[in-house]
Amino acid sequence: MENTSSSSSEQQFDTIIIGSGVGGLSAAICLSRAGQKVLVLEQHDVPGGWCHSFYLNGHRFTPGVHYVGLLEKGQSTAQLYEGLGIAGDLTFFRMNPSAYEHAFIGDERFDFPGNFDDLIVALVERFPKEEKNIIKYLNLVRNVSSELQLLPNVKGFWQHVTIPFRTKNMGKYALFTLKRVIDWHIKDPLLKKILNIQFGDHGLAPAKASFPLHCAVMDHYFNGGFYPCGGGAAIVKAMTKAIKKNNGVVKTQQPVKRILLGGGKKKKAIGVELESGEQLFAKNIISNADPNITYQKLIGEDNLSNALRKKLYKTKYSCTSLMLFLTVDMDLRASGIDSGNIWLMPNEDMDTVYERMMVPDITNDEALEGMFISCTTLKDPSSFDGKHHSIEAITYLDYNTFEKFKDEKEPRSKEYLQFKELFMEKMIKTLEKVLPTVRKHIVHKELGTPITNEYYINTTRGSVYGTEKKLTQIGPFAYKSKSEIKNLYLCGASIVSHGVAGAGYSGLQTAGEILKLSQNELLSTDNQQSVTILEAENGADYPKWLNDKIESKKRKTTSSSGENFV
């Protein structure tokens, strides 16, 4: 990517996009393909936001991509990548089809198969007394999610009139929490925990999580989980390649100081000022930053309506995270690990567990309550060097735990570094519940904290999913892609939905607002590309290029140095 500013004091673009998360990149593809002169500005030294990858001692990690769903022909994520014209540049590995997700709940175990019917069979076999309830509940989940997907394409008076008839399930349950609805349908406490365990994918406890949103998350993975060959950076690379093909530009190390306004009383966005002082001008500005950063930092409260200011004050952001990145020299398959993710939780009420996760005990170095565990070198065999595996382990917590370090500068204080060491020890002890001997095999370890999230991703309070996905902040109550300021638009995890696919679709919606096109019109293309899908657990059908890549990786150890964590 380019990382130098132009010497020109004034440049005119059709659209400037602030931030290069997949929402901003999706918008850039659509707009540049339509003939617009597009500039994407990224404050980090690589594009991608949460989807970017980095290297530690030559081993690749991706902080925000752990699995993606609905990638087979005709499914929504595949349609997104085909419509953006990047499908042919993407290869994904299907994670263990019989267990793309492992639920470790206390001493209980359950594997999620990557097939809707197989999931029902597995659950009924485990909970035979709940057979009717399981079938009814999972079909409800699937129906609500299907109805949600209809909404972006509703167009015209008569289609709006018929919404209640086409979305009767969603309408019935739209304003209820996950806990409320599952309590109506399921009796067995363990079964509830199994069906709720993916609450981590939206970072809210069942008592607060929106039922329709949880339906969308579950349905996203009913046909299994997939991981990109090359990590999240492969998606970013394909997207930036498409932007460049359309004569768009992506510049890194270009932090934006403020959005420039004009137009007198009725304000409109006319450009941006970089931290360097350079000013760039455009007909439209899209912010891929979250609403707090966009409105309060880049626009300024004095330029906002009272209604918007009140909404900003009330807005709550999602929890933040701790991410443990490990390189280990052990045979993980021999230790029972495969390409499936692991959700590790105590066998207790999940709302109670979530509350304890938010406020961890910092008086000792004992294990944490819950953890998400993922081995990227098993999900992406092309990244395995034959000896070292990469593990990404994640837990959530409230930002308040780290708030006293929010003003940390380089070099980091001794207190902050000691605090990191405390949590690193707590996370390793938690990981030992799954891998008892992992400690003696650690080659390299690093911890990403809420302060790290703020520094590299520029999120409010280190949030991992943008605005908190509670009932009053999603759907019709979410921030809109078109702002109250003329020519200013937003995209990203706080607009349409979060996750790799949700953020990608947000960029599509925002581009549609500017181009006056529907989602279907933006995705309609003669492009016959398809995403390549291979099996993470079975290399028998790997193409020659991939086998050559795997063998090359095993022959040499990469000496790439990566970003230093803060």
Q: Is 539 contained in some domain?
A: no
Q: In this structure, are 426 and 453 located in the same domain? A: yes
Q: In this structure, are 121 and 270 located in the same domain? A: no
Q: Is 136 contained in some domain?
A: yes
Q: Is 538 contained in some domain?
A: no
Q: In this structure, are 275 and 211 located in the same domain? A: no
Q: In this structure, are 82 and 152 located in the same domain? A: no
The total of other beta-carbon atoms located within 10 Å of residue 134's CB is 24
The Cα 541–Cα 365 span in angstroms is 46
Q: In this structure, are 39 and 81 located in the same domain? A: yes
Q: In this structure, are 436 and 336 located in the same domain? A: yes
Q: In this structure, are 310 and 324 located in the same domain? A: no
Give the ranges where 168-285 is alpha helix by DSSP (H). 168-173, 178-185, 189-196, 211-220, 232-245
Last residue within a domain, chosen from 507, 523, 539: 523
Backbone angles phi, psi at 410, to 5 degrees: -80, 140
Which tokens belong to 21?
């998360």
The Cα 469–Cα 319 span in angstroms is 10
Give the total residue count for the chain. Answer: 566
What residues make up the domain containing 235? Answer: 12-53+62-91+229-315+472-523
Q: In this structure, are 193 and 253 located in the same domain? A: no
The total of other beta-carbon atoms located within 10 Å of residue 544's CB is 7
Choose among 17, 8, 6: nearest CA to 487.
Answer: 17
Q: Is 531 contained in some domain?
A: no
Q: Tokens 């929890």 identify what position?
A: 319
**Residue 32 sits in a domain of what CATH number?**
3.50.50.60
Q: In this structure, are 140 and 209 located in the same domain? A: yes
Domain total in the chain: 3
Contacts (Cβ under 8 Å, ≥6 apart) of 355: 205
Radius of gyration of the chain (CA): 23
What pLDDT tens digit does each residue of the chain (566 aa) get? Answer: 554 444 344 578 999 999 999 999 999 999 999 999 999 999 999 999 999 999 998 899 999 999 999 999 989 999 999 999 999 999 999 999 999 999 999 999 999 999 999 999 999 999 999 999 999 999 999 988 887 765 444 344 333 333 343 456 667 888 889 999 999 999 999 999 999 999 999 999 999 998 988 998 999 999 999 999 999 999 999 999 999 999 999 999 999 999 999 977 789 999 999 999 999 999 999 999 999 999 999 999 999 999 999 999 999 999 999 999 999 999 999 999 999 999 999 999 999 999 999 999 999 999 999 999 999 999 999 999 999 999 999 999 999 999 999 998 888 999 999 999 999 999 999 999 999 999 999 999 999 999 999 999 999 999 999 999 988 888 888 899 999 999 999 999 999 888 899 999 999 999 999 999 988 889 876 567 899 999 999 999 999 999 999 999 888 754 444 455 55
Predicted pLDDT at 520: 85
DSSP classification of residue 304: S
CB–CB of 507/521 below 8 Å? no
Q: In this structure, are 217 and 243 located in the same domain? A: no
Q: Is 558 contained in some domain?
A: no
Last residue within a domain, chosen from 457, 481, 500: 457
The Cα 416–Cα 449 span in angstroms is 10
CB hemisphere CA count around 247 (13 angstroms): 7
Q: In this structure, are 212 and 239 located in the same domain? A: no
**pTM (2 d.p.):** 0.93
Q: Is 483 contained in some domain?
A: yes
The Cα 392–Cα 342 span in angstroms is 11
Q: Is 543 contained in some domain?
A: no
The Cα 226–Cα 246 span in angstroms is 28
The total of other beta-carbon atoms located within 10 Å of residue 241's CB is 14
Q: In this structure, are 353 and 452 located in the same domain? A: yes
Which tokens belong to 357?
């996760």
Q: Is 131 contained in some domain?
A: yes
Last residue within a domain, chosen from 432, 457, 482: 457
CB hemisphere CA count around 352 (13 angstroms): 5
